[in-house]
A and B are shown apart, each in its own frame.
Chain A
Amino acid sequence: MIGAGQRFTPLQRLLHWLMAVCILTMLFIGVGMVSTVMPKYLMLVSIHKPLGIAILVLALVRLVVRLRYGAPPLPADLPEPMKLGAQLSHYALYILMIGMPLLGWGMLSAAAYPVVLFGGAHLPAILPQSDSLHTLLWDAHFYLAYVFFALVLLHIAAALFHAFVRRDGVFDAMAPVPTHYEIAPAE
Protein backbone atom coordinates (compact mmCIF):
# COMPACT_ATOMS: atom_id res chain seq x y z
CA MET A 1 0.00 0.00 0.00
CA ILE A 2 0.99 3.60 -0.54
CA GLY A 3 1.75 5.22 2.77
CA ALA A 4 0.40 8.53 4.06
CA GLY A 5 1.79 11.51 2.13
CA GLN A 6 2.63 9.33 -0.88
CA ARG A 7 0.44 11.37 -3.16
CA PHE A 8 1.03 13.32 -6.32
CA THR A 9 1.82 16.99 -5.63
CA PRO A 10 -1.14 19.42 -5.61
CA LEU A 11 0.11 20.86 -8.93
CA GLN A 12 0.12 17.36 -10.47
CA ARG A 13 -3.35 16.62 -9.19
CA LEU A 14 -4.63 19.98 -10.45
CA LEU A 15 -3.14 19.29 -13.90
CA HIS A 16 -4.54 15.76 -13.95
CA TRP A 17 -8.13 16.73 -13.18
CA LEU A 18 -8.08 19.84 -15.37
CA MET A 19 -6.79 17.78 -18.27
CA ALA A 20 -9.25 14.98 -17.55
CA VAL A 21 -12.10 17.44 -18.12
CA CYS A 22 -10.40 18.92 -21.22
CA ILE A 23 -9.63 15.55 -22.82
CA LEU A 24 -13.05 14.02 -22.23
CA THR A 25 -14.66 17.20 -23.60
CA MET A 26 -12.30 17.07 -26.55
CA LEU A 27 -13.06 13.43 -27.40
CA PHE A 28 -16.82 13.94 -27.21
CA ILE A 29 -16.60 17.13 -29.30
CA GLY A 30 -14.49 15.31 -31.85
CA VAL A 31 -16.82 12.34 -32.32
CA GLY A 32 -19.84 14.67 -32.30
CA MET A 33 -18.56 17.23 -34.78
CA VAL A 34 -17.68 14.73 -37.51
CA SER A 35 -21.23 13.35 -37.39
CA THR A 36 -23.34 16.45 -37.95
CA VAL A 37 -24.00 19.05 -40.64
CA MET A 38 -25.93 21.33 -38.27
CA PRO A 39 -24.74 24.82 -37.23
CA LYS A 40 -23.34 23.34 -34.00
CA TYR A 41 -20.67 21.79 -36.24
CA LEU A 42 -18.92 25.15 -36.53
CA MET A 43 -19.26 25.83 -32.81
CA LEU A 44 -17.75 22.43 -32.00
CA VAL A 45 -14.87 22.86 -34.46
CA SER A 46 -14.16 26.33 -33.08
CA ILE A 47 -13.76 24.81 -29.59
CA HIS A 48 -11.89 21.70 -30.79
CA LYS A 49 -8.93 23.60 -32.25
CA PRO A 50 -8.03 25.97 -29.37
CA LEU A 51 -8.86 23.32 -26.77
CA GLY A 52 -6.47 20.95 -28.56
CA ILE A 53 -3.69 23.51 -28.40
CA ALA A 54 -4.50 24.12 -24.71
CA ILE A 55 -4.19 20.37 -24.05
CA LEU A 56 -0.84 20.32 -25.88
CA VAL A 57 0.50 23.14 -23.69
CA LEU A 58 -0.89 21.56 -20.50
CA ALA A 59 0.56 18.15 -21.44
CA LEU A 60 4.01 19.61 -22.00
CA VAL A 61 3.85 21.43 -18.66
CA ARG A 62 2.65 18.23 -17.05
CA LEU A 63 5.48 16.21 -18.56
CA VAL A 64 8.04 18.63 -17.12
CA VAL A 65 6.33 18.56 -13.71
CA ARG A 66 6.23 14.75 -13.81
CA LEU A 67 9.93 14.53 -14.67
CA ARG A 68 10.69 16.96 -11.84
CA TYR A 69 8.45 15.48 -9.10
CA GLY A 70 8.01 11.88 -10.23
CA ALA A 71 5.14 9.70 -9.06
CA PRO A 72 4.39 7.77 -5.86
CA PRO A 73 5.51 4.14 -6.17
CA LEU A 74 2.90 1.54 -7.04
CA PRO A 75 1.96 -0.82 -4.17
CA ALA A 76 4.57 -3.52 -3.69
CA ASP A 77 1.91 -6.22 -3.74
CA LEU A 78 0.50 -5.16 -7.12
CA PRO A 79 0.92 -8.12 -9.54
CA GLU A 80 3.66 -7.57 -12.13
CA PRO A 81 1.32 -7.69 -15.16
CA MET A 82 -0.79 -4.92 -13.61
CA LYS A 83 2.32 -2.86 -12.88
CA LEU A 84 3.44 -3.26 -16.46
CA GLY A 85 -0.03 -2.37 -17.74
CA ALA A 86 -0.07 0.74 -15.56
CA GLN A 87 3.31 1.87 -16.83
CA LEU A 88 2.63 1.19 -20.50
CA SER A 89 -0.81 2.80 -20.42
CA HIS A 90 0.64 5.93 -18.85
CA TYR A 91 3.32 6.14 -21.54
CA ALA A 92 0.56 5.77 -24.13
CA LEU A 93 -1.56 8.47 -22.49
CA TYR A 94 1.34 10.93 -22.47
CA ILE A 95 2.13 10.13 -26.11
CA LEU A 96 -1.51 10.70 -27.09
CA MET A 97 -1.91 13.88 -25.01
CA ILE A 98 1.04 15.41 -26.83
CA GLY A 99 0.66 13.59 -30.14
CA MET A 100 -3.04 14.12 -30.90
CA PRO A 101 -2.89 17.94 -30.90
CA LEU A 102 0.27 17.80 -33.05
CA LEU A 103 -1.44 15.41 -35.50
CA GLY A 104 -4.44 17.74 -35.67
CA TRP A 105 -2.28 20.82 -36.19
CA GLY A 106 -0.17 19.01 -38.78
CA MET A 107 -3.23 17.68 -40.59
CA LEU A 108 -4.72 21.18 -40.88
CA SER A 109 -1.36 22.50 -42.06
CA ALA A 110 -1.03 19.81 -44.74
CA ALA A 111 -4.53 20.73 -45.97
CA ALA A 112 -3.67 24.47 -46.08
CA TYR A 113 -6.45 25.30 -43.62
CA PRO A 114 -5.71 28.23 -41.36
CA VAL A 115 -5.42 27.10 -37.71
CA VAL A 116 -7.62 29.68 -36.00
CA LEU A 117 -7.77 30.03 -32.23
CA PHE A 118 -10.02 32.31 -30.18
CA GLY A 119 -10.29 35.92 -31.24
CA GLY A 120 -9.00 35.41 -34.78
CA ALA A 121 -5.47 34.56 -33.58
CA HIS A 122 -3.94 31.91 -35.79
CA LEU A 123 -1.01 29.53 -35.63
CA PRO A 124 1.55 29.02 -38.38
CA ALA A 125 1.53 25.90 -40.56
CA ILE A 126 3.90 23.25 -39.20
CA LEU A 127 3.94 21.22 -42.43
CA PRO A 128 3.83 21.99 -46.15
CA GLN A 129 0.63 21.37 -48.08
CA SER A 130 0.49 17.72 -49.14
CA ASP A 131 -2.42 15.41 -49.92
CA SER A 132 -0.50 12.29 -48.87
CA LEU A 133 0.63 13.83 -45.56
CA HIS A 134 -2.90 15.06 -44.94
CA THR A 135 -4.31 11.59 -45.46
CA LEU A 136 -1.71 9.97 -43.22
CA LEU A 137 -2.21 12.47 -40.40
CA TRP A 138 -5.99 12.55 -40.77
CA ASP A 139 -6.20 8.76 -40.51
CA ALA A 140 -3.90 8.76 -37.49
CA HIS A 141 -5.87 11.55 -35.78
CA PHE A 142 -9.17 9.80 -36.46
CA TYR A 143 -8.27 6.27 -35.41
CA LEU A 144 -6.03 7.26 -32.50
CA ALA A 145 -8.96 9.26 -31.09
CA TYR A 146 -10.81 5.96 -30.60
CA VAL A 147 -7.68 4.38 -29.12
CA PHE A 148 -7.39 7.39 -26.81
CA PHE A 149 -10.99 7.07 -25.67
CA ALA A 150 -10.57 3.33 -25.09
CA LEU A 151 -7.44 4.05 -23.02
CA VAL A 152 -9.31 6.68 -21.01
CA LEU A 153 -12.02 4.11 -20.25
CA LEU A 154 -9.38 1.57 -19.27
CA HIS A 155 -7.70 4.19 -17.09
CA ILE A 156 -11.02 4.98 -15.34
CA ALA A 157 -11.77 1.27 -14.88
CA ALA A 158 -8.33 0.71 -13.35
CA ALA A 159 -8.67 3.75 -11.09
CA LEU A 160 -12.04 2.52 -9.84
CA PHE A 161 -10.63 -0.98 -9.41
CA HIS A 162 -7.93 0.46 -7.15
CA ALA A 163 -10.50 2.57 -5.29
CA PHE A 164 -13.28 0.02 -4.83
CA VAL A 165 -11.66 -3.39 -4.99
CA ARG A 166 -7.99 -3.20 -4.03
CA ARG A 167 -8.31 -0.08 -1.84
CA ASP A 168 -4.54 0.20 -2.03
CA GLY A 169 -4.10 3.98 -2.06
CA VAL A 170 -3.40 4.25 -5.80
CA PHE A 171 -6.64 6.15 -6.43
CA ASP A 172 -6.07 8.31 -3.37
CA ALA A 173 -2.65 9.30 -4.68
CA MET A 174 -4.39 11.26 -7.47
CA ALA A 175 -7.72 12.01 -5.75
CA PRO A 176 -8.55 15.71 -6.02
CA VAL A 177 -9.14 16.02 -2.26
CA PRO A 178 -7.95 13.83 0.61
CA THR A 179 -10.23 10.81 0.89
CA HIS A 180 -11.49 8.83 3.83
CA TYR A 181 -8.69 6.34 3.34
CA GLU A 182 -6.04 8.96 3.97
CA ILE A 183 -7.60 10.74 6.87
CA ALA A 184 -8.52 7.47 8.52
CA PRO A 185 -5.39 7.32 10.75
CA ALA A 186 -6.44 10.59 12.37
CA GLU A 187 -9.81 9.30 13.45
Chain B
Amino acid sequence: MAQLHQSPARSVFGSLVLIAVIIAGGAAAFAFTGGWFSPQRLTPDKMVDALTPPTGEPLGHRRNHAKGICFTGVFDANGAGTALSHAQVFTRGQYPALGRFNLGTADPNAADATVRVRGMGLQISTPDGQEWRSAMVNPPVFPVSTPQGFYELLLASASKDPDAMKTFAAAHPEFAPFGAWATKGPWTGSYAEERYNGLNSFVFTDSSGVEHTVRWSLLPAAQPVSVSPDDLAKRGPDFLEQEITERVRGGPQRWTMVVTVANSADPTADPSKAWPEDRRTVEVGTLTVQQIEPERDGPCRDINFDPTVLPSGIRTSDDPFPAARSSVYAKSYDLRTAEAKDYPRTAMEAKP
Protein backbone atom coordinates (compact mmCIF):
# COMPACT_ATOMS: atom_id res chain seq x y z
CA MET B 1 0.00 0.00 0.00
CA ALA B 2 2.77 2.39 1.01
CA GLN B 3 4.45 1.71 -2.30
CA LEU B 4 1.35 2.76 -4.17
CA HIS B 5 1.03 6.02 -2.35
CA GLN B 6 4.68 6.85 -2.85
CA SER B 7 4.62 6.37 -6.61
CA PRO B 8 2.61 9.20 -8.11
CA ALA B 9 3.92 8.02 -11.45
CA ARG B 10 1.44 5.17 -11.33
CA SER B 11 -1.17 6.22 -13.79
CA VAL B 12 -4.86 6.35 -13.05
CA PHE B 13 -5.27 3.96 -15.95
CA GLY B 14 -2.93 1.43 -14.34
CA SER B 15 -4.86 1.60 -11.08
CA LEU B 16 -8.17 1.12 -12.85
CA VAL B 17 -6.81 -1.92 -14.67
CA LEU B 18 -5.61 -3.37 -11.36
CA ILE B 19 -9.03 -2.82 -9.78
CA ALA B 20 -10.75 -4.41 -12.78
CA VAL B 21 -8.46 -7.45 -12.56
CA ILE B 22 -9.18 -7.87 -8.84
CA ILE B 23 -12.96 -7.63 -9.33
CA ALA B 24 -12.94 -9.95 -12.36
CA GLY B 25 -10.86 -12.43 -10.36
CA GLY B 26 -13.40 -12.35 -7.54
CA ALA B 27 -16.29 -12.89 -9.93
CA ALA B 28 -14.45 -15.74 -11.67
CA ALA B 29 -13.68 -17.45 -8.35
CA PHE B 30 -17.37 -17.21 -7.46
CA ALA B 31 -18.44 -18.67 -10.80
CA PHE B 32 -15.87 -21.44 -10.47
CA THR B 33 -17.17 -22.31 -6.98
CA GLY B 34 -20.68 -22.42 -8.40
CA GLY B 35 -19.57 -24.97 -10.98
CA TRP B 36 -20.06 -22.73 -14.03
CA PHE B 37 -16.70 -23.83 -15.42
CA SER B 38 -17.18 -27.49 -14.41
CA PRO B 39 -19.74 -29.07 -16.76
CA GLN B 40 -18.73 -32.54 -15.50
CA ARG B 41 -19.71 -31.77 -11.90
CA LEU B 42 -22.66 -33.86 -10.70
CA THR B 43 -25.12 -31.25 -9.46
CA PRO B 44 -28.56 -31.64 -7.88
CA ASP B 45 -30.02 -30.08 -11.05
CA LYS B 46 -28.41 -32.73 -13.25
CA MET B 47 -29.67 -35.53 -11.02
CA VAL B 48 -33.20 -34.09 -11.06
CA ASP B 49 -33.07 -33.74 -14.86
CA ALA B 50 -31.97 -37.38 -15.18
CA LEU B 51 -34.91 -38.44 -13.00
CA THR B 52 -37.46 -36.84 -15.30
CA PRO B 53 -39.69 -39.62 -16.67
CA PRO B 54 -40.84 -39.91 -20.31
CA THR B 55 -44.23 -38.60 -19.13
CA GLY B 56 -42.58 -35.26 -18.32
CA GLU B 57 -41.70 -33.42 -15.14
CA PRO B 58 -44.05 -34.45 -12.31
CA LEU B 59 -45.09 -30.86 -11.53
CA GLY B 60 -45.93 -30.37 -7.87
CA HIS B 61 -44.67 -33.83 -6.95
CA ARG B 62 -41.45 -35.30 -5.61
CA ARG B 63 -38.93 -35.87 -8.41
CA ASN B 64 -38.55 -39.50 -7.37
CA HIS B 65 -40.82 -41.74 -5.30
CA ALA B 66 -43.43 -39.41 -6.72
CA LYS B 67 -46.49 -41.53 -5.94
CA GLY B 68 -47.33 -41.95 -2.28
CA ILE B 69 -49.83 -41.79 0.55
CA CYS B 70 -49.46 -40.30 4.03
CA PHE B 71 -49.69 -42.04 7.37
CA THR B 72 -49.57 -41.02 11.00
CA GLY B 73 -48.89 -43.15 14.03
CA VAL B 74 -46.47 -43.64 16.88
CA PHE B 75 -43.05 -45.09 17.52
CA ASP B 76 -42.74 -47.02 20.78
CA ALA B 77 -39.11 -47.24 21.82
CA ASN B 78 -38.35 -50.20 24.07
CA GLY B 79 -35.17 -48.63 25.48
CA ALA B 80 -32.77 -51.21 23.98
CA GLY B 81 -31.46 -48.64 21.46
CA THR B 82 -29.92 -46.57 24.26
CA ALA B 83 -27.06 -49.08 24.21
CA LEU B 84 -26.16 -47.72 20.77
CA SER B 85 -27.26 -44.07 20.71
CA HIS B 86 -28.09 -41.39 23.24
CA ALA B 87 -30.78 -39.91 20.94
CA GLN B 88 -33.99 -39.42 22.89
CA VAL B 89 -35.93 -41.42 20.30
CA PHE B 90 -34.39 -44.62 21.76
CA THR B 91 -35.32 -43.86 25.36
CA ARG B 92 -38.26 -46.03 26.38
CA GLY B 93 -41.40 -44.11 25.50
CA GLN B 94 -43.89 -43.25 22.81
CA TYR B 95 -43.17 -40.62 20.16
CA PRO B 96 -45.34 -39.27 17.33
CA ALA B 97 -44.55 -40.58 13.86
CA LEU B 98 -45.47 -39.23 10.44
CA GLY B 99 -44.66 -40.93 7.19
CA ARG B 100 -45.40 -41.80 3.63
CA PHE B 101 -45.71 -45.08 1.77
CA ASN B 102 -44.43 -44.59 -1.75
CA LEU B 103 -43.37 -46.10 -5.04
CA GLY B 104 -39.88 -45.79 -6.49
CA THR B 105 -40.94 -44.02 -9.65
CA ALA B 106 -40.74 -40.47 -10.94
CA ASP B 107 -44.25 -40.80 -12.42
CA PRO B 108 -46.97 -39.88 -9.91
CA ASN B 109 -49.56 -41.62 -12.10
CA ALA B 110 -47.71 -44.94 -12.48
CA ALA B 111 -49.81 -48.06 -12.00
CA ASP B 112 -48.87 -49.69 -8.70
CA ALA B 113 -48.09 -53.10 -10.21
CA THR B 114 -45.54 -51.60 -12.62
CA VAL B 115 -43.19 -50.30 -9.95
CA ARG B 116 -40.64 -52.67 -8.45
CA VAL B 117 -39.35 -50.59 -5.54
CA ARG B 118 -41.62 -49.60 -2.66
CA GLY B 119 -40.57 -47.25 0.07
CA MET B 120 -41.42 -45.57 3.32
CA GLY B 121 -40.52 -42.06 4.43
CA LEU B 122 -40.59 -41.66 8.20
CA GLN B 123 -40.27 -38.79 10.66
CA ILE B 124 -40.19 -39.38 14.41
CA SER B 125 -40.32 -36.34 16.71
CA THR B 126 -39.15 -36.30 20.31
CA PRO B 127 -39.99 -33.93 23.19
CA ASP B 128 -36.46 -32.44 23.11
CA GLY B 129 -37.46 -30.79 19.82
CA GLN B 130 -35.35 -33.07 17.62
CA GLU B 131 -36.44 -35.03 14.59
CA TRP B 132 -35.28 -38.21 12.95
CA ARG B 133 -36.16 -38.43 9.27
CA SER B 134 -35.47 -41.45 7.15
CA ALA B 135 -36.48 -42.80 3.76
CA MET B 136 -36.29 -46.56 3.34
CA VAL B 137 -36.97 -49.02 0.51
CA ASN B 138 -37.85 -52.70 0.18
CA PRO B 139 -34.88 -54.07 -1.81
CA PRO B 140 -32.22 -55.69 0.41
CA VAL B 141 -29.38 -53.73 -1.23
CA PHE B 142 -29.03 -50.50 -3.23
CA PRO B 143 -28.36 -50.93 -6.98
CA VAL B 144 -25.10 -48.93 -7.07
CA SER B 145 -22.14 -47.98 -4.90
CA THR B 146 -21.89 -44.25 -5.56
CA PRO B 147 -24.10 -41.25 -6.46
CA GLN B 148 -22.25 -41.07 -9.79
CA GLY B 149 -23.22 -44.72 -10.39
CA PHE B 150 -26.84 -43.85 -9.62
CA TYR B 151 -26.71 -41.02 -12.16
CA GLU B 152 -25.35 -43.43 -14.77
CA LEU B 153 -28.12 -45.91 -13.89
CA LEU B 154 -30.72 -43.18 -14.50
CA LEU B 155 -29.15 -42.33 -17.86
CA ALA B 156 -29.01 -46.02 -18.87
CA SER B 157 -32.64 -46.63 -17.80
CA ALA B 158 -33.83 -43.68 -19.88
CA SER B 159 -31.62 -44.47 -22.87
CA LYS B 160 -33.09 -45.46 -26.22
CA ASP B 161 -30.09 -47.71 -26.82
CA PRO B 162 -31.40 -51.29 -26.30
CA ASP B 163 -28.02 -52.35 -24.90
CA ALA B 164 -27.74 -49.42 -22.46
CA MET B 165 -28.65 -51.46 -19.39
CA LYS B 166 -26.33 -54.32 -20.40
CA THR B 167 -23.49 -51.85 -20.83
CA PHE B 168 -24.34 -50.30 -17.48
CA ALA B 169 -24.45 -53.64 -15.66
CA ALA B 170 -21.11 -54.62 -17.16
CA ALA B 171 -19.54 -51.38 -15.93
CA HIS B 172 -21.21 -51.73 -12.52
CA PRO B 173 -20.80 -55.31 -11.25
CA GLU B 174 -22.23 -54.17 -7.89
CA PHE B 175 -25.62 -53.97 -9.65
CA ALA B 176 -25.98 -57.80 -9.76
CA PRO B 177 -27.48 -58.45 -6.29
CA PHE B 178 -30.07 -55.71 -6.81
CA GLY B 179 -30.77 -57.00 -10.32
CA ALA B 180 -31.33 -60.49 -8.94
CA TRP B 181 -33.79 -59.18 -6.34
CA ALA B 182 -35.60 -57.06 -8.94
CA THR B 183 -36.12 -60.00 -11.30
CA LYS B 184 -36.50 -62.94 -8.91
CA GLY B 185 -37.56 -61.43 -5.58
CA PRO B 186 -41.15 -61.81 -4.38
CA TRP B 187 -43.86 -59.15 -4.82
CA THR B 188 -46.56 -58.61 -2.21
CA GLY B 189 -50.02 -57.09 -2.43
CA SER B 190 -49.60 -54.61 0.42
CA TYR B 191 -47.44 -51.81 1.75
CA ALA B 192 -48.08 -53.43 5.16
CA GLU B 193 -46.28 -56.64 4.14
CA GLU B 194 -43.05 -54.98 3.06
CA ARG B 195 -39.79 -54.80 4.91
CA TYR B 196 -38.30 -51.31 4.58
CA ASN B 197 -34.51 -51.08 4.68
CA GLY B 198 -32.50 -47.95 5.43
CA LEU B 199 -29.59 -49.33 3.33
CA ASN B 200 -27.35 -46.33 4.05
CA SER B 201 -25.12 -46.57 7.08
CA PHE B 202 -25.14 -43.99 9.87
CA VAL B 203 -23.10 -43.56 13.02
CA PHE B 204 -24.81 -43.92 16.41
CA THR B 205 -23.05 -42.43 19.43
CA ASP B 206 -23.92 -43.90 22.82
CA SER B 207 -23.94 -42.08 26.16
CA SER B 208 -20.30 -43.03 26.81
CA GLY B 209 -19.28 -41.48 23.49
CA VAL B 210 -18.63 -44.83 21.79
CA GLU B 211 -19.58 -44.85 18.10
CA HIS B 212 -21.35 -47.68 16.29
CA THR B 213 -21.85 -47.73 12.53
CA VAL B 214 -25.29 -49.13 11.81
CA ARG B 215 -28.04 -49.66 9.27
CA TRP B 216 -31.68 -50.06 10.19
CA SER B 217 -34.76 -51.80 8.85
CA LEU B 218 -38.48 -51.94 9.61
CA LEU B 219 -39.74 -55.53 9.69
CA PRO B 220 -43.49 -55.96 9.10
CA ALA B 221 -45.68 -57.69 11.67
CA ALA B 222 -47.98 -58.67 8.80
CA GLN B 223 -47.11 -61.98 7.13
CA PRO B 224 -45.93 -61.29 3.55
CA VAL B 225 -47.94 -63.14 0.92
CA SER B 226 -46.25 -63.53 -2.45
CA VAL B 227 -48.37 -62.42 -5.41
CA SER B 228 -47.27 -62.48 -9.04
CA PRO B 229 -46.95 -59.11 -10.80
CA ASP B 230 -49.51 -60.30 -13.38
CA ASP B 231 -52.07 -60.87 -10.65
CA LEU B 232 -51.22 -57.50 -9.09
CA ALA B 233 -51.79 -55.77 -12.44
CA LYS B 234 -55.41 -57.00 -12.37
CA ARG B 235 -56.05 -55.20 -9.08
CA GLY B 236 -56.15 -51.73 -10.60
CA PRO B 237 -53.64 -48.87 -10.85
CA ASP B 238 -53.97 -47.73 -7.22
CA PHE B 239 -54.53 -51.00 -5.41
CA LEU B 240 -51.70 -50.42 -2.93
CA GLU B 241 -53.17 -47.13 -1.71
CA GLN B 242 -56.69 -48.58 -1.53
CA GLU B 243 -55.45 -51.70 0.26
CA ILE B 244 -53.43 -49.87 2.93
CA THR B 245 -56.30 -47.44 3.55
CA GLU B 246 -58.74 -50.31 4.11
CA ARG B 247 -56.26 -52.32 6.11
CA VAL B 248 -55.37 -49.54 8.56
CA ARG B 249 -59.05 -48.65 8.89
CA GLY B 250 -59.49 -52.22 10.11
CA GLY B 251 -56.67 -51.98 12.61
CA PRO B 252 -53.23 -50.43 13.14
CA GLN B 253 -50.28 -51.96 11.31
CA ARG B 254 -46.92 -52.55 12.96
CA TRP B 255 -43.25 -52.83 12.10
CA THR B 256 -40.33 -53.71 14.37
CA MET B 257 -37.33 -51.45 13.97
CA VAL B 258 -34.12 -53.46 13.91
CA VAL B 259 -30.69 -51.82 14.02
CA THR B 260 -27.76 -53.85 12.63
CA VAL B 261 -24.28 -53.00 13.89
CA ALA B 262 -21.33 -53.22 11.50
CA ASN B 263 -18.06 -54.96 12.33
CA SER B 264 -14.95 -52.88 11.75
CA ALA B 265 -14.18 -54.22 8.26
CA ASP B 266 -17.74 -54.13 6.91
CA PRO B 267 -18.45 -51.98 3.81
CA THR B 268 -20.08 -49.03 5.55
CA ALA B 269 -19.62 -46.68 2.58
CA ASP B 270 -21.33 -48.92 0.01
CA PRO B 271 -25.08 -49.56 0.27
CA SER B 272 -24.91 -52.06 -2.62
CA LYS B 273 -23.05 -54.44 -0.29
CA ALA B 274 -25.03 -56.37 2.32
CA TRP B 275 -23.35 -57.00 5.66
CA PRO B 276 -22.93 -60.62 6.78
CA GLU B 277 -26.03 -62.20 8.33
CA ASP B 278 -24.41 -62.83 11.72
CA ARG B 279 -23.97 -59.16 12.65
CA ARG B 280 -25.31 -57.95 15.97
CA THR B 281 -28.88 -56.71 15.72
CA VAL B 282 -30.88 -54.75 18.27
CA GLU B 283 -34.67 -54.42 18.20
CA VAL B 284 -35.17 -50.82 19.30
CA GLY B 285 -38.93 -50.35 19.06
CA THR B 286 -42.17 -50.65 17.15
CA LEU B 287 -43.70 -48.36 14.55
CA THR B 288 -47.50 -48.39 14.65
CA VAL B 289 -49.33 -46.89 11.68
CA GLN B 290 -52.74 -45.72 12.90
CA GLN B 291 -54.16 -43.55 10.14
CA ILE B 292 -53.85 -43.18 6.37
CA GLU B 293 -54.50 -39.90 4.53
CA PRO B 294 -54.22 -39.10 0.82
CA GLU B 295 -51.08 -37.14 0.04
CA ARG B 296 -52.85 -34.25 -1.68
CA ASP B 297 -54.05 -32.81 1.63
CA GLY B 298 -52.07 -35.02 3.96
CA PRO B 299 -49.46 -34.14 6.58
CA CYS B 300 -46.59 -35.78 4.67
CA ARG B 301 -47.10 -33.72 1.54
CA ASP B 302 -44.76 -30.86 2.42
CA ILE B 303 -42.28 -32.88 4.44
CA ASN B 304 -38.92 -33.55 2.83
CA PHE B 305 -37.84 -36.96 4.16
CA ASP B 306 -34.24 -35.82 4.04
CA PRO B 307 -32.18 -38.63 5.61
CA THR B 308 -29.69 -36.16 7.04
CA VAL B 309 -32.26 -34.62 9.38
CA LEU B 310 -30.99 -36.50 12.41
CA PRO B 311 -31.20 -36.09 16.16
CA SER B 312 -28.08 -35.61 18.26
CA GLY B 313 -26.75 -39.18 18.78
CA ILE B 314 -27.06 -40.11 15.11
CA ARG B 315 -24.80 -38.71 12.39
CA THR B 316 -23.89 -39.51 8.81
CA SER B 317 -21.11 -42.03 8.12
CA ASP B 318 -18.65 -42.45 5.23
CA ASP B 319 -21.61 -43.56 3.06
CA PRO B 320 -21.79 -40.87 0.31
CA PHE B 321 -25.50 -41.30 -0.38
CA PRO B 322 -27.17 -39.40 2.48
CA ALA B 323 -25.38 -36.21 1.38
CA ALA B 324 -26.35 -36.75 -2.26
CA ARG B 325 -29.92 -37.57 -1.31
CA SER B 326 -30.11 -34.50 0.91
CA SER B 327 -28.93 -32.18 -1.86
CA VAL B 328 -31.22 -33.67 -4.50
CA TYR B 329 -34.25 -33.93 -2.19
CA ALA B 330 -33.80 -30.24 -1.36
CA LYS B 331 -33.83 -29.40 -5.08
CA SER B 332 -36.92 -31.56 -5.56
CA TYR B 333 -38.58 -29.86 -2.59
CA ASP B 334 -37.78 -26.37 -3.89
CA LEU B 335 -39.25 -27.28 -7.26
CA ARG B 336 -42.42 -28.95 -6.08
CA THR B 337 -43.32 -26.36 -3.46
CA ALA B 338 -43.06 -23.75 -6.22
CA GLU B 339 -45.39 -25.86 -8.37
CA ALA B 340 -48.12 -26.35 -5.77
CA LYS B 341 -50.70 -24.92 -8.17
CA ASP B 342 -50.09 -27.93 -10.44
CA TYR B 343 -51.05 -30.28 -7.60
CA PRO B 344 -53.87 -28.32 -5.94
CA ARG B 345 -55.13 -29.18 -2.52
CA THR B 346 -58.78 -30.10 -2.12
CA ALA B 347 -59.24 -29.67 1.62
CA MET B 348 -60.62 -26.14 1.39
CA GLU B 349 -63.28 -27.13 -1.11
CA ALA B 350 -64.13 -30.41 0.59
CA LYS B 351 -64.79 -28.81 3.95
CA PRO B 352 -68.40 -27.67 4.36
Question: Does B233 interact with chain A (Cβ within 8 Å)?
Answer: no
Binding stretch for chain A, among B1-9, B64-72, B167-175, B221-229: B1-9
Please tell me if B55 contacts chain A, counting CB pairs below 8 Å: no
Minimum Cβ distance to chain B for residue A43 (Å) = 8
**Docked complex: B24-56 residues within 8 A CB-CB of A:** 26-27, 29-30, 33-35, 41-44, 47
Report if B324 contacts A (CB, 8 A): yes
CA distance A156 to B12 in the complex (A): 17
**A156 vs B29: C-alpha distance when bound (angstroms):** 15
Using A34-B44, A122-B129, A153-B26 as known contacts, say yes or no to A41 and B326 having CB atoms under 8 A apart: yes
A153 contact from B10, B27, B147, Cβ within 8 A: B27
Q: Among B309, B312, B324, which residue has its beta carbon within 8 angstroms of that of A120? A: B312
Give Cα A39–Cα B43 distance, bound, in whole angstroms. Answer: 12
- Name the CB-closest residue of A to B45: A35
What is the CB-to-nearest-CB distance from A172 to chain B, in angstroms, rounded to a whole number? 9
Chain B residue at minimal CB-CB distance from A167: B5
By the criterion CB–CB under 8 Å, are B18 and A114 in contact? no
Residues in B whose Cβ lies below 8 Å from that of A165: 12, 15-16, 19
Identify whether the interface residues of B are mostly helix, strand, loop, or mixed: helix
Which residue of B1, B6, B302, B328 contacts A163 across the interface (Cβ within 8 Å)? B1
B43 A135 Cβ-Cβ under 8 A: no
| Inter-chain contact B2/A180, CB cutoff 8 Å | yes
A67 to chain B: which residues have CB within 8 Å?
A: none
B1 touches A180 (CB 8 A): yes
A156-B26, A181-B5 are known contacts. Are A164 and B18 too (CB-CB below 8 A)? Answer: yes
A120 and B130 form a contact (CB under 8 A):
yes
B327 lies within 8 A of A138 (CB): no
User: Which B residues are in CB contact (< 8 Å) with A36?
Assistant: 35, 41-44, 327
- CB neighbours (8 Å) of B271 from chain A are none
Which chain A residues lie closer than 8 Å to B311 at the CB level? 120
Interface check B111, CB cutoff 8 A: no
Which of these, A41, A120, A122, A157, contacts B19 with CB under 8 Å? A157
A60 to chain B, nearest CB (A): 24
B16 with A37: CB separation less than 8 A = no
- Inter-chain contact B44/A111, CB cutoff 8 Å: no
Interface residues of A in 37-75 (CB under 8 A from B): 37-42, 45
Q: How far is the CA of A180 from the CA of B5 in the complex (A)?
A: 8
- The stretch of A80-88, A95-103, A126-134 that contacts the partner chain: A126-134
A135 contact set on B, CB distance < 8 A: 334, 337-338, 340
A78 at the interface (CB under 8 A from B): no
Bound-state CA distance A118–B293 (Å) is 36
Q: Which segment, of B178-186, B188-196, B283-291, B315-323, faces chain A?
A: B315-323
CA distance A181 to B323 in the complex (A): 50
- Docked CA distance A115–B340 (Å): 24
Q: What separation, in Å, do the CA atoms of A42 and B23 have in the docked complex? A: 29
> Smallest CB–CB gap between B85 and chain A, Å?
13
Q: Report how far A28 CA is from B303 CA in the complex, Å.
A: 28
- Closest residue on chain B to residue A114 by CB atoms: B131
The answer to whether B130 touches A38 (Cβ under 8 A) is: no
A141 to chain B, nearest CB (A): 10
What are 6 A-to-B residue pairs whose CB atoms are below 8 Å? A35-B43, A37-B147, A38-B42, A40-B323, A122-B130, A160-B15
